[in-house]
Amino acid sequence: MKQSKTLYLFIIPGLFLYLLFFVYPTVNGLILSFTDWDGFSPKNWIGLENYKKMLVDDSIFMKALTNNLKFMLGVVIFQTLLSLGFSILLVKNSKSNIFFRALYFFPTILSSISVAFIWGFMYNPNVGVVNNVLGRIGLEALAQNWLGDPELALYSIVFVQVWAHTGQMLVLFVAGLQSIPEELYEAVYLDGATKWQAFKHVTWPMVTPAATIVVAYTTIQSFKAFDLIFALTGGGPVYSTEILSTYIYHTAFQSSEFGYAAAQSMGFMLIIAMITFGQFKLLKGNRAS
């Protein structure tokens, strides 16, 4: 019994850090969300007014939420499908496969600001590589102002996000695929199964735990793509790439509405939790079926 109590002492450092850096800021932010505070004047308690403003009166917040959902769906769908497809092609530990895994993983080690700098130059409508390549292969009509067009800007950033992080998710899928026993494939092929049937009944059920991690992580990642979007477009043009994290920043540090920004942050956290929980439930249900 004494030894058991001693073991609990090892929890204290981690618990202290958790309380200090997560619980305390969350509780403090929740309290702040019920106030009208500019960062300097005394806090003015206003109850649920910030939440009413956020849900009813603030069209830009709803625009940012819509953009965030579009960005999340684009990133989750394409990043998951591409990483899964590449992982199936590169699952064997040959020298060429290891090389390509490392090559695809390389963008992940770059900071988001570096990625934004690279693709900001690539997308430049005058001297950028993308439009120049399109011109050289006779597709000048497809050349666009990729980050300056409100209709294209968000999807251009989706492509950058997928390019930067597909290799990271690929590694997770490879680990999941390599844990599948070869005997299972031998058994289904002996029964006359096609490759698609083997994928449907063996590969996908066995790789679902890895897929759950990939989808959840990619979702959170897409909601937190502040630095990439801020460095590429700053949320423009005309709020077309404004997402919740960039809008919270603008509310707090440009408009000095810290109480309202806190309310937005609480809503932001709740939305991520709901979506992630729903994804876990959906993937768990698919696995059980």
CB 165 within 8 A of CB 108: yes
Domains of the chain, with CATH numbers? 55-288 (1.10.3720.10)
Q: Compute the Cα dihedral for 70, 214, 273, 17 and give only its sign.
A: negative
The pLDDT of residue 5: 73
The pLDDT of residue 6: 77
Mean pLDDT of 117-145: 93
pLDDT tens for 205-220 read: 999 889 988 988 898 8
Taking residue 126's Cβ as centre, other Cβ atoms within 10 Å add up to 7
Mean pLDDT of 87-96: 93
The pLDDT of residue 3: 62
Widest distance between CA atoms in the chain? 78
Mean pLDDT of 133-161: 94
pLDDT tens for 25-56 read: 999 999 999 999 998 889 999 999 999 999 99
pTM of the complete model: 0.87
The pLDDT of residue 9: 81
Round to whole Å and give the CA distance between 137 and 266: 49
Residue written as tokens 């300097």? 40
Mean pLDDT of 111-125: 94
